Amino acid sequence: MALVYFEGTVKPAGGNHDPESASHRLHKAIQGLGTDENAIIEVLAGHINYERQEIKKMYKTMFGQDLVEDIKGDLSGLFEKLCLYLLMPSRMFDAFCLRQAIEGLGTDEGRLIEILCSKTNGEIQSIKEEYQKFYNRSLEDDVRKDTSGHFQHILISLLQANRSEEQEMDDAKVQKDAKDLYEAGENKIGTNTSVFNAILASRSPPHLKAVFEQYKNISQMDIEGAIKDETSGNLCKAFLAVVRYIKDPMDYYAECINKCIKGIGTNDERLMQLIVSRCEIDLKDIGEAYLKKYGESLPLAIKGDTSGDYGKLLVKLATPTE
């Protein structure tokens, strides 16, 4: 099976990466008369996460001050938050987002499933380690305490980081999984959710795409329609999120971003988390899917719904680098 390559909007500075020069620029922008927000935007959006971590280290070496603390002392509001998110190591940021989704009033079920269904086994293991190190608590234990029932089961299944990463297709296994899903749902009274959990949380994305196609041949119904008929509430949302992500991850993320922007008020927190987490991975492709789906470019959509330096930085992150 051919590998699919995705493209982010934020690219490595490469030969232009100079942590010392970038640190000087940031220090001047923060410590000078007034704050040079444009310089901060250019530096943070002009480097990938690994390079930003090197700049943080160099900044401390050169000035004996912590860049994160200086940002906190000089900026405020959503612009400060977004800058701080960009300065977090990638897996620590994922752990932070999961913690945000769990703690406080209510649980952001959508964000939980969105993060967990899109990570590789190695990434999930790293996130669990960062979560334990940063919060001194187990991510799996926190998920168990904050969720319940079948929805909890699919989250715990995904946290096992036991998804097959095989690329080769086995037609017999595809047919068996499609038949098992049909027998566990549509073809019985009640739904055997453990079968759905086991298959959705442990099979490779290419395998699952083939299973969903085969399911239509068996059932005459799309797997999404079957899930809607057989489940409800957060469990239904979780299964649908996994299926939609597997079918077309770019379309899935375009829809997630659109939900943050459209309607009454902007879900700034989730919008920031989505843009920061995808800008180095596949946000260029997500932007193309967004344009196709909604008839508006992603940077323009963000610009129309945000303002100030916060909006400028988000637009910069969402605009493909030439």
* Closest to 124 in 3D by CA, of 115, 112, 132, 133: 115
* 0.95 surpassed by pTM: no
pLDDT truncated to tens, each residue of the chain (322 aa)? 444 567 999 999 988 899 999 999 999 999 877 899 999 999 999 999 999 999 999 999 999 999 999 999 999 999 999 999 999 999 999 999 999 999 866 678 888 888 898 888 999 999 999 999 999 999 999 999 999 998 899 999 999 999 887 666 788 999 999 999 999 888 777 678 899 999 999 999 999 999 999 999 999 899 999 999 989 898 999 999 999 999 999 999 999 999 999 877 789 999 999 999 999 999 999 999 999 999 999 999 999 999 999 999 999 999 998 7
Q: Where are the domains of the chain?
A: 14-87, 103-159, 171-247, 249-318
The packing angle between helices 233-247 and 149-159, to 10°, is 40
**Cα distance from N-terminal residue to C-terminal residue, the chain:** 30
Query: Cα–Cα–Cα angle for 270, 272, 24, nearest 5°?
Result: 155
Q: Which of the listed CATH numbers 1.10.220.10, 3.30.420.40, 1.10.3720.10, 4.10.520.10 matches domain 103-159?
A: 1.10.220.10
Amino acid at 122: G
Domain range 171-247, CATH class: mainly alpha
171-247 shares the fold of 14-87: yes
Assigned CATH for 249-318: 1.10.220.10
Domain range 14-87, CATH class: mainly alpha
Helices (H), the chain: 19-31, 37-45, 49-63, 67-74, 77-87, 90-102, 109-117, 121-135, 139-146, 149-159, 171-184, 193-202, 205-219, 223-230, 233-247, 249-261, 268-278, 283-294, 298-305, 308-318
